[in-house]
A = this chain, B = another copy of it.
């Protein structure tokens, strides 16, 4: 999901510094100004649909705040999450007119949006922008492929441990115990992991009873020993968890 080093996000644009770095890490003054000139903001409440599957998509955007999900569905309603967008992640596809999956707000979420056509025009005139987007797409591709391994081969316990570890790794402070607030409901976690709500819940309590995590309400999680949790995730030495 094309995560950007937020420590770089020190750009001279008060409104959404993160986004500008994310879209165009090497943009200089004038390009940055042009990007800034054509942006607009919009906010959705948790649970609202941002784009329907198959719908025409007239904008590209990046997440300023909150958390959004990408999902695809089978005709009988079974649903799989295929992407999780966090602040600084990019939404939309230059050169594509329709959305191949549904975009939904997981929490209250704010996007910084650009008209797709205008953005594409700028891409042709600003060569390194395409290179930057390519890099971000490759990051997303890596993340998608890591998730294919999770979905295809991990047990329920490993799946849940994997997701918790990923979220805990982003914890705002490094002090032990690590603490994070889950941006996802059990339903969203299940959609992400290819499980049911019940199985997610059972594995959460199992991890708690085994002393690997503690729960603080339904959404707060605490972890004394992240390495132990990562060991439960069954990853090889190379996995996304360790990068």
Contact = CB atoms under 8 A, between A and B. Distances in A.
A82 interface: yes
A10 to B, nearest CB: 23
The quantity of this chain's copies bound in the complex is 2
Given A82-B149, A135-B95, A147-B148, A74 B154 contact: yes
Nearest to A159: B152
B151 A152 contact: yes
Interface string A90-131: 000111100011000000000000000000000110010011
A124 B127 CA distance: 8
Nearest to A145: B82
A29 interface: no
Contact of A235 (B75, B141, B146): B75
A26 to B, nearest CB: 12
Nearest to A79: B153
